[in-house]
Amino acid sequence: MFTTLLMEEVRTQARRNAGVVGIIGAVAAGAMLMSLLELPVLSSMLLVGAFVALVAMPAVVSVQAGIEYWTSMYGARGYLTMSLPVKGRSVFAAKTLYAVIAVLASAAAATLLGVGWLASYAHLLGTTLEQFLEPVRQMISMVGTGVLAFYGLTVVEGVVVMIIEVAAVMSIGAQGRWNRLGFGAPAVGFIVLYAVNQIVALVATMLLPLLFDVTSGRIVARMMLPQFIEAVQGGQEPHLVGIGSVVAAPIMAAALAWWAVHAIERHTCLR
């Protein structure tokens, strides 16, 4: 049944998401090609516009997925969704999994087009893409591919966590006790979520024994707080940066997902 639910999400949303990616991608690619004409001022403006479009691509898909989640769960279509003979956890999992796939796919498309953007920018500067990316290559050589892969995975983790948390807050806010507020309850929930995330990230960064050494580019198992205090007292910049939030964030997302499933299965109220 889960596969059926997931395929229904694909059938409902994929064409719409692909259309947005195609339109934005075409606009960005057109702007990049026109920038190669090296028109004074205009070429730079076209590259800025292309960059904004590429950044907006996964953001727009994220908004589309969020709107679809709310309307299909708690809008007029919610009556049909809640009448399905499946558990709320299956519905939540199918919708969030599709959103993760759609957003990551759009981000991948934007990244591929981003290579073209870099090439266009390098051309505008009068250099080659290889020369332009030489500092990046040197940085990768210094920190190692393992660290680079780790931080790439943390970016993916951040996207997954964000999608799960946003969907969870919408479902938690749609419980019967707050139903009269409409989307106002999730809106307040997003503000609370942001504040709690900042606090959790700060505590995890300072107290969890997982640090990144900016001098060597290595990950070490030490707590940041003691050396941070020493650095502040000595008027120096800390050379160890806590990355404990990569552990705390999935735990918080899992807790919110459990709460959301509980809310869907026991406290959903459609009016």
Q: What tens digit of pLDDT does each residue of 67-106 get?
A: 999 998 888 887 777 777 888 889 999 999 999 999 999 9
pLDDT at 145 over 80: no
Task: Name the band, by pLDDT with cuts 50, 70 and 90, for residue 269.
Answer: low
CA of residue 189 relative to chain centroid, distance: 18
Task: Name the band, by pLDDT with cuts 50, 70 and 90, for residue 217.
Answer: low
- Considering only CA atoms, which of 217, 253, 66, 37 is closest in space to residue 45? 37
pLDDT of residue 65: 94
Q: 240: which strand partners?
A: 213
pLDDT of residue 270: 64
What are the C-alpha distances in Å from 266 to residues 169, 256, 261, 269? Answer: 15, 15, 8, 9
> To the nearest whole number, what is the mean pLDDT of the chain?
86
Residue 106 CB contacts under 8 Å (≥ 6 apart), including other chains:
17, 20, 21, 57, 58, 60, 61
pLDDT of residue 214: 66
- Considering only CA atoms, which of 76, 86, 84, 67 is closest in space to residue 12? 67
The lowest-confidence range among 28-32, 34-38, 69-73, 230-234 is: 230-234
SS3 of residue 236 by DSSP = coil
